[in-house]
Structure 1
Amino acid sequence: MQNVPDLEAWTIFTRVAETGSFAKAAEQLGISQPTVSKAIARLERRLGTMLLYRTTRSLSLTPTGESLRERALQLLADAEAFETEASAGALEPHGLVRMNAPMSFGLKYLAPLFPAFFERYPSVDIDLSLTDQFVDIVSGGYDLAIRVADLTDSSLRARQLCSIRRPLVASPAYLDKHGRPRHPSELERHTSFIYTNSPTPEYWRFTHATSDEEYAVAVHGRIRTNNAEAFLPALIAGQGLALQPEYLVWDELQRGELEQVMCDWRIADINVNLVTPPGMLRTARVTALIEFLVEHLAHAPWAVLAA
């Protein structure tokens, strides 16, 4: 049976790699620490190479261990998906979904949906990580991610949820005091706030809505941040203008706290994508969550549906 994969050892290895500790891996898996140690040793003997550097105070992956970690995660995910689809339990989604999403989007639109999701799927749990930094979902062990950006990794499986407009907004008080810009060239004399996670933060390229004329303008901001929600207090206080994803300022626009300007000019829309690791199989719980998100978010008032 030498050629049969040791899935138990690979499972233990991925948990050790994730936690950085034999003891934590043993605790999470509900097994003894010696069992963890023996499984890693068994796997290293089988492969003929070290997977982990061990000292009395630390544990880290060897280059071989690092390269095998992602493949092991995919192997186990596929095995779990196969078992789930092949079992009667596939009819009732169950288990944990590890999910990643941008901070503001997650807090404003994902978290409020969880009560209804848990009501519909009482056997599914969610481990949600919120960050505005790029996350490798494969090496991070995520089942699903929401990306509010253009996708750069073509190996991932993606489903476009919708697109989002990015209007240029400011408070009526700011615009009454400093004027309402009608052309991008006028922005050079206005105070701008700069979102640093965009490809060209200080270089805004506009396209005219009817003539396809393009105009690029360099802007200089008093606030620079990787989370556009941080602009809201200063925007509402009348201290500048900013390009904002419409989902983030929808309520403020409806209440009149903010106003869109230069409506004849636009920055390219950004896509909201549901992204999963490469592979042919998805567990029932991941599919359930994807369909639930499409159901509740694709028709939000700020969502632009794909043509």
Structure 2
Amino acid sequence: MDSLVSMRVFCLVAELKSFATAAQRLRISPAMASKHVMQLEKRLGTRLLNRTSRRVSLSESGVLYFEQARQMLDSLDEVEAAVSNATVVPHGTLRLTAPVWMANAMFAGVLADYQARYPDVRLDVDLGGRMVNLVEEGYDLALRATGAPDEALIARPITKVAFHMVGAPAYLDRAGRPTKPADLAGRSLLHYALYPSESFSFAGEHGTETVKLNPVLRSGNETLLHMAALEGMGLAFLPKWLVAEDIAAGRLEHVMPGQVLFEGKLFAVYPSRKYLSAKVRTFIDFVAADRRMR
């Protein structure tokens, strides 16, 4: 049995978490797919997949083997194309995870333009708002807004991301429009759950001023906080890309626009520099070069 074919079968089963679905895509029987994986496990002397009647998951050894095998297969495809003097065309499924707030028209436009340029790449985008394990969960790439990316991963800076304090006109009419940091004390806050504090620091007339707001809603989902801000529930601290259209249309107001509370960077994060596939490399380059992301 061809070990390279078995490796491809294993990687697809691991990605799809299903022998039947992988077999259908490869046009082989589920029994043959299972035979390929068992042959691979026998040769390696370890279990790669945990199987139950309902699900398939990677074992500890499987996680390690999957990362290396998939990168090697992607690299092999590119090497073979290069040797045959063919253009290396990005292909396959690009599994991407990004923050919830990237569910906006601007980013959808970037994805549409990338897919139009590289039609052989299928995009599988997770905007679930959780910090995923790229290797264990089989993701190719993450877009993360942070001041300090994980040192265990490779992180390429893409662009700056400014966060604004915003509120609906109805709320500001009712509670008043702050003109200085002290005016924010006790104001209703739509609190992002991953931000550790209910206090914010501002550059005041006499140096840094820290004020504490009153959290009336706490959530790790920026879309909910955005909707609540539009409903006039309180002030929210949200990325510019999510609220720019609302500010332009007057649905939200930028509170104390001269104050920059946080300006982080958006990073493209991936597990390893080795065997960086064409689909990952071209996507990172495409996003970094797109003017809409600046």
TM-score normalized by the length of structure 1: 0.81
- Cross-structure match for 2:251: 257
Q: Where does 1:218-297 land on structure 2 (aligned, <5 Å)? A: 218-297=212-291
AA at the equivalent of 2:217: I
Q: Where does 1:123-162 land on structure 2 (aligned, <5 Å)? A: 123-162=120-159
- Cross-structure match for 1:19: 16
Which of 34, 37, 42 matches 1:40? 37
Structure 2: gaps spanning 5 or more residues: none
Q: Deviations over 1:103-148 (max 9, x none)?
A: 3313432222344334333333322222211122222323332212
CA contact (8 A) 1:204 1:219 kept: yes
Structure 1: gaps spanning 5 or more residues: none
**CA distance 1:221–1:286, shift in 2 (3 Å):** same
- Cross-structure match for 2:186: 189
Does residue 120 (structure 1) correspond to residue 114 (structure 2)? The answer is no
Q: Deviations over 1:56-101 (max 9, x none)?
A: 6665544433443333333334434444554533354444322222
Does residue 166 (structure 1) correspond to residue 163 (structure 2)? The answer is yes
CA contact (8 A) 2:63 2:136 kept: no
Structure 1 vs Structure 2: percent identity of aligned residues? 32
TM-score normalized by the length of structure 2: 0.84
- Cross-structure match for 2:73: 76
Shift of 1:16: 2.7
Which of 204, 210, 213 matches 1:216? 210
CA contact (8 A) 2:63 2:135 kept: no
CA contact (8 A) 1:85 1:284 kept: no
CA contact (8 A) 1:82 1:281 kept: no
AA at the equivalent of 2:142: A
User: CA separation in 2, counterparts of 1:84 and 1:209?
Assistant: 60
What is the aligned length? 293
CA contact (8 A) 1:73 1:141 kept: no
| RMSD of aligned Cα (Å) | 2.9
Shift of 1:39: 1.9
- Cross-structure match for 1:97: 94
**CA distance 1:95–1:210, shift in 2 (3 Å):** farther
User: CA separation in 2, counterparts of 1:80 and 1:142?
Assistant: 19
AA at the equivalent of 2:271: P
User: CA separation in 2, counterparts of 1:270 and 1:97?
Assistant: 25
